[in-house]
A and B are shown apart, each in its own frame.
Chain A
Amino acid sequence: MRHLNASKLNLQSDKSPTLRPRKKETLFIILFLLPALVLFLLFVIYPIFRSIFFSTFDWNGLGPATNNIGLGNYKKIFTDQVFLKSMLNVFIIIILSLGLQLPLALILSVLVGRDLPGRNLFRTMFFLPYVISEVNTAIMWTLLFNANPDRGLLNAVIVLLGFNPIGWLADSKIVLMSVFFVLTWKYFGFHMLLFLTGIQNIPLELEEAARIDGANGFQNFFFIILPLLSRTIRTSVYMSVLGSIQQFTIIWVMTGGGPVNASETMATYMYRYGIVRHQLGYGSAVAIIMFLFCLIFSLLYQRLTRKPDYLTGL
């Protein structure tokens, strides 16, 4: 590949056929990467190291950090029942996201398809939840989840159907499901956007040919759309898992991780113990642990899907 490109490039440069293009290309690569690298190293990579540094202190964040306790914070985190509970909750959210949220987004994307009259309207509407900010999403759903059927629409419907009202956010057995429901409402539009863009890349002729060969909708979906969308799906899964690990705002505003840690996630745990309780060192350690989980997942995922996504051509 490089050979091919290099030899092709040679055609345009009349002098020093072996050296010029490579040098030029290196310069080109550096110039194209530079702005991103500068911003990235300054505002993302350096802060990570800074947080690792903070995480080794017993420090309230004010004044100089003096009490270095090495890995003490990490030890404490992994022996804390609440943190283990929050890990479990994150795991549940990941499983539900992959098992319900992504399939839902995929099915709706296929249903909207590309030739349904009025599809533009549907697409726009399905994306609306993603446009509304997380804080406001949480506030609106808190109102809908109100335990009092005179106030909360969901309970009003349930009472109308003849059941007892449900404490959507008050019942520790249900609260995580309620939270997941809102996360699905909010984020399926994002995955739909990815899928729709991917579906758009599938040549129409392929589907038509299959239909002429007698394939029905389901066969079409499983044997043509799904395999050709595999890369988009992989991206979607990856982002969904990382997003679940980091999910914070909606849960914090809706439940504060409660009642009594029932909807605690690692991110709300970090906020509760790091920010609210002024333990910056401890909070940084939680952030680093979340970072490591994401990192480990990424490495495993790359191993599992064999190649990094960008190398897999269609």
Chain B
Amino acid sequence: MKRTVISSYSTRKALIRFFQYLVLIIATILIFVPIVILLFGSLKTTGQMYSEPYTIPNPPHWDNIISIITSPTFWNLMKNSIFVTIITTTGAVMISAMVSFVLARLRFRGKNFVFNLFTIGMMFPINVAILPVYLVLIQLDKLGFNLVDSLTGVIMVQIAFQLSGNIMILSSFFTSVPTEIQDSAYIDGCSNFDFFWRIMLPLVKPALAAVASLIIIASWNDLLVPLIVLNSNELWTLPLGTMQFQGQWSQDLALISAFVTLSAIPTVIFYFFAEKQIVSGITAGSVKG
């Protein structure tokens, strides 16, 4: 009797597994089609890209990739992108976490107002705000802060526009940490800062990793802010680099594909590692359901 229960349970489980894999694999294939086109494209000529975009590159045309990775421009763009992304992400994650902590765990007058103020940022995206933002940068520049044609300017604007969404996500995670933890921490003599730094941040590590991934992607792919703020080619970031393959009347789609593929590699690698953080950070017992 017992045995049959187990075996039927395990057949059922195997069946469910099969079904799970089937759906997931179909989804994966659908997701992969355009990415494969992109990868193929990076090994084709532009003519092949427009005329036979979905065939296998035969023979592979390695010149695209070789010409990009041997050009010093690419590595300079990469360097700037890495710099901007790291500072923007660190800054935005820290600042959002600080605000979220205060909003989620402390009580003060005007809290609702502050929270609502920050949500406003989600309603006014950068692409409609770019002119006023640029005017602010110019004014600050005249006051002696070097923000126009400088990576600092790009970073500041990117952080400002990353705050709203991430404060929203993070404060919901901060709220979910049980109050008992806070109470016992304060009984143990924790200051607010200690509680934030030593207890809260480690607890919401998965959320921080998730938010950091989102910021990295947004910053890494951002075209508009660097375009408007930066003039000097030496300061440009990777998305601006695709411009070298776009003429007035046509674009070099194969080279763009190769360039995009190469410039996406760092973010994919990062996400692969961050993803483990996101899903493994929380030990089941420490957070109440």
Query: Which A positions have Cβ atoms within 8 angstroms of B?
Result: 1-2, 4-5, 8-9, 11-12, 24-26, 28-29, 32-33, 35-37, 39-40, 42-48, 50-51, 54, 61, 108, 111-114, 116, 120, 122-137, 139-141, 143-144, 146, 150-153, 156, 185, 190, 193-194, 196-197, 200-206, 217, 228, 231-232, 235, 238-239, 242, 246, 248-249, 267, 270, 280, 283-284, 287, 290-291, 294-295, 298, 308-314
Contact = CB atoms under 8 A, between A and B. Distances in A.
Nearest to A136: B260
The 8 closest A-B pairs by CB, nearest first: A47-B132, A294-B123, A133-B221, A43-B160, A50-B132, A287-B128, A8-B186, A39-B160
Interface size class of chain B, counting residues whose CB lies under 8 Å from the partner chain: 35 or more
Contact of B125 (A124, A131, A246): A246
B47 to A, nearest CB: 12
Contact of B217 (A9, A124, A131): A131
A151 B98 contact: no
B96 interface: yes
Given A51-B129, A196-B279, A291 B115 contact: no
Chain B contact residues: helix, strand, loop or mixed = helix
Contacts of A152: 53
A290 B268 contact: no
B32 A127 contact: no
A231 B172 contact: yes
Contacts of B182: 5
B279 A123 contact: yes
B175 A311 contact: yes
B217 A143 contact: no
Contact of B221 (A32, A47, A134, A270): A134
A8 B187 contact: yes
B191 A128 contact: no
7 contacts: A5-B107, A5-B186, A26-B108, A33-B114, A51-B124, A108-B23, A124-B271
B174 to A, nearest CB: 8
B31 A126 contact: yes
A310 B103 contact: yes
B289 A228 contact: yes
Contact of B282 (A9, A40, A201, A235): A201
A1 B107 contact: yes
A32 B103 CA distance: 10
Contacts of B58: none
* Residue from A48, A197, A217 whose CB has the most chain B CB atoms within 10 Å: A197
Contact of A298 (B35, B119, B173): B119
Contacts of B186: 5, 8-9, 11
B101 to A, nearest CB: 7
B99 A32 contact: yes
Contacts of A217: 16
A146 to B, nearest CB: 7
Given A36-B118, A44-B124, A314-B289, A196 B278 contact: yes
Nearest to B263: A133
B64 to A, nearest CB: 15
A4 B183 contact: yes
B234 to A, nearest CB: 22
B160 A193 contact: no
Given A39-B160, A143-B53, A201-B287, A294 B28 contact: no
A242 B120 CA distance: 11
A44 B264 contact: no
Nearest to B184: A8
B279 A39 contact: no
B69 interface: no
A133 B278 CA distance: 22
Interface in B242-273: 253, 256, 260, 264, 267-268, 271-272
* Residue from A12, A136, A194, A267 whose CB has the most chain B CB atoms within 10 Å: A136
A131 B216 CA distance: 9
B22 to A, nearest CB: 10
